[in-house]
Amino acid sequence: MINIKHKLNLLISKQEIEKEITILANELNDKFQGEQISLIMILNGSVFFFADLARKLNMPIKMDTISISSYLGTESTRKVKFHKKIVKPIIENKHVLIIEDIIDTGRTLTNVYEYLQTLNPKTLEIITLADKEGCHEDFKYNYRSLFKVPNKFVVGYGFEIDDLYRQLDQIYTIEDEN
């Protein structure tokens, strides 16, 4: 039994998540048919999305992870710090998909995208599970998100608050405690 410290409201069910990942995987299978791609997972939030998507792809895949942080609890630190970077051979002249849990301010993805561009990929795309509405008007790169979420803190399916709730198989908003 999970000890829930916050009031959680269901936002996206596991069935909705699975359906959208299947649609995305089918599109990627068609787009990259017969090609090898590199999937780059931004740790830790996208771990479930990354795994579920990768299992549905039917082309050769190379996988790696990148670790970067910009949050402390629920607050953005406004500074981005790389903890683990990618090695060039998995990126250079390859079709590369950056897999991220959510686009919030866009700072994390901007830093990752610009870093990976220096490694000379053939193509570079961003795919996020969720897009937080109204939070990143100045984000300049094209991306694909499976879900729009309100400008609230979300947990479950990889999203967490202070390392809690990441393992939940659905996505929830946290009710204001006021």
Distance CA 88, CA 99 (A): 17
Give the helix/strand (H/E) hosting 159. Answer: none
Q: First vs last Cα of the chain: how many Å apart?
A: 26
Task: Give the chain's count of helices (H) and strands (E).
Answer: 3, 9
Do 122 and 93 touch, CB atoms closer than 8 A? yes
* Identified catalytic residue from 104, 131, 162, 176: 104
The set of residues, in sequence order, having a beta carbon less than 8 Å from that of 3 and lying 6+ positions away, is none
Catalytic residue flag (residue 162): no
What would you measure as the largest C-alpha separation in the chain, in angstroms? 54
Count of all residues that appear for the chain in the document: 178
- Output helix, strand, coil percentages for the chain, rounded to the nearest 5: 25, 40, 35
Catalytic residues: 104
